[in-house]
Amino acid sequence: MLNQWLLIGILAIATYLSRFFGVVFMARQKMSPALRLYFNYVPIAIIAALLVKQIFVPTDGQLTISLPVLIACISTVIAIKVIRMFLPSVVIGIVVGLLVRYLLI
């Protein structure tokens, strides 16, 4: 459990620092398209890394798939595509994940 919090902390610091340096040091300079693309994809990459770590759980030396987390992620994606609002979609994903975890599995 401590490793997950350490990972979250390190990734949060990396995200904050990349945004901070991007704003402070490059505010008056024109950014190249590659650098702009980098700054746009850093948060997405961090969230993806956290999700993959939660979906694939090490058990007895092997990776197993956490079905509640996977189903929650899939339901969140479907909700975002249907209702096109981020926060309600995340809430739907959380509720579906909890229902799957505590009622079906």
pLDDT digit string, tens, across residues 30-44 = 778 998 888 889 888
28 to 5, 22, 39, 41: CA distances (angstroms):
35, 10, 16, 21
For 91, phi then psi, to 5°, come to -60, -40
Would the pTM count as exceeding 0.75? Answer: no
Give all strands (DSSP E) within 23-86, no chain letters.
56-59, 62-65
DSSP-based three-state secondary structure for 32: coil
- pLDDT band at 72, cuts 50/70/90? very high
Q: Is residue 1 scored above 70 in pLDDT?
A: no
Torsion, CA 26, CA 28, CA 31, CA 36, rounded to 10: 60
For the chain, the structural domain boundaries read: 1-55, 66-105
pLDDT tens digits for range 44-69: 899 999 999 999 999 898 999 999 99
Q: If we measure between CA atoms, which residue out of 44, 41, 46 comes closest to residue 22? A: 41
